[in-house]
Amino acid sequence: MHAEERERLILDIMQPAGFVSYRDLEARLDASPATIRRDLTRLENAGRITRVHGGAKLSESDEASTRLIGTPFDKSITLHLAAKQAIGKAAAALVQPGEGIMVDGGTTTLQMVPHLAGLDCQVLTNSLYIVNALLPQPGTRILLPSGTVFREQNIILAAAGEESMPRFHAPKLFMGAAAVGPQGIMQADVVLVAAERRLIDRAEEVILMVDSSKFSSQSGTIVCGLEEIDTIITDALPDGFATVLEKAGVRVIIAGA
């Protein structure tokens, strides 16, 4: 592996935490400690990283890339709230008592939580907002993945390729999206895409929860095609999109209808 390739890989490893230890680099790179030190020196001289005790951290300009792209949680939670609440209630109605489920972080999936009380479910979630909302429910068991906390969304995410999920079987995944179009489900940030792919790959049934505003934007990184979605819960569909979903084999639930 050339030095340039190793340097690019080192920067990739430092996402999303913004830090890497020397021990971790030695375990993950096919290079000697001396070679790794030289790579770090070049990156530091270029202003990409700063050497610290036990490892290295991203420089301030590169560290900004560890923040998630998109609207912060505390701002997006008030948008289309009535629709999200109706979608959350309809989603919770699909959960069986005692069932294990996965709930991806988001302002729409959060609206499921009040309706899970009394179902005594096991919930795997990467959202600290959802954890806090579930804590008052004594019968709900909560599981968390490992990873880095992204404060803007209060969500736990791990780098692509890193195994972060506990050994847990959950037949249903409830997830949101930044946008939905004929090409599939999209997110604004590639870190979210990697995390959601891990959840999708573990699920038997994928249930998408999106309000109708998500159909007006069709930009972002594709998480999956429509054919990987089993059910979509929304408050309304744009003209002609019901046919697109039908062709993809997606069940549609209109919340509040």
Which sequence spans correspond to the domains of the chain?
A: 3-66, 73-254
Strand partners, 102: 124, 173
**Alpha-carbon dihedral angle through residues 180, 224, 18, 168, given to the nearest 10 degrees:** 120
Looking at this protein, which amino acid is placed at residue 59?
S
Q: CA–CA separation, 67 vs 11, rounded Å?
A: 15
129: left (phi over 0), alpha (psi -120 to 50) or beta: alpha
Tell me the average pLDDT of the chain. Answer: 85
Residue 74 pLDDT grade (very low, low, confident, very high; cuts 50, 70, 90): low
Q: CA–CA separation, 17 vs 146, rounded Å?
A: 12
Which listed CATH number (1.10.10.10, 3.40.710.10, 2.30.30.30, 3.40.50.2300) goes with 3-66? 1.10.10.10
Taking the whole predicted model, whether its pTM rises above 0.75 is answered as no
pLDDT at 250 over 90: yes
Q: 46-60, 93-107, 132-146, 233-247: lowest mean pLDDT where?
A: 46-60
CATH node for 73-254: 3.40.50.1360
pLDDT tens by residue, 108-157: 999 999 999 999 999 999 999 999 999 999 999 999 988 778 776 788 87
Tell me what pLDDT residue 127 has: 92
Residue 238 Cα distances to 17, 124, 213, 252, angstroms: 39, 32, 9, 13
pLDDT at 205 over 80: yes
Here the tokens at position 183 are 């090409």
